[in-house]
Amino acid sequence: MSDARFEDGINKPLRLIAFEAEDLQVISAVVQDAVLPVAEMTWRPKERRFALLINRFCWEAAASDGAKRVQAVLSFEDVQSVQTQGFDRLDTDLILSILSLTFESGADGMGHCVLTLAGNGAIRLQVEALETSLRDVTRPYVAPSGLTPNHD
């Protein structure tokens, strides 16, 4: 049996889940350079869920298909509180860009999920336990810019 390859995900919707910090690194790599309007963030305290509808770059298809994006839901469970910095949550036209996701471990499995955003923005979620999922909800589409994100 061989390990999965990135190319195996081409033309299939991604569905990933993280229960450990190492798993979250995989989701972080996949959502790097994802963009979303502030209006596409949802905090449901009664459900203890924070979710974002993102437009992620299709890193798994970039080599063969060019610059494509897909809409996906990035969801965090067991969220106790949400803090933001570096952007106005009321500016619904503002577009955010995700740089990375990290988990800061605390006592008894509790901790903080931190979404680092371009332009010194951040979202910090206090969670009872790490449970993050990413699920593609549309087919890939040609990125409006036609460009692949550059990290030089």
- pLDDT tens-place string over residues 121-152: 999 999 999 999 999 999 888 877 766 676 55
The percent of residues in the chain predicted with pLDDT above 90, rounded, is 67
pLDDT in tens, 3-25: 655 555 556 789 999 999 999 99
Q: What is the pTM of this model?
A: 0.86
Tell me what the mean pLDDT of segment 60-65 comes to. Answer: 65
Contact 124, 83 (CB under 8 A): yes
CA distance 25 to 141: 25
**What residue has token string 């305290």?**
45
Report d(CA 127, CA 56) in Å as an integer.
24
DSSP character string of 66-91: -SEEEEEEEEE-SEEEEEEESS-TT-
Q: Which amino acid is at 10?
A: I
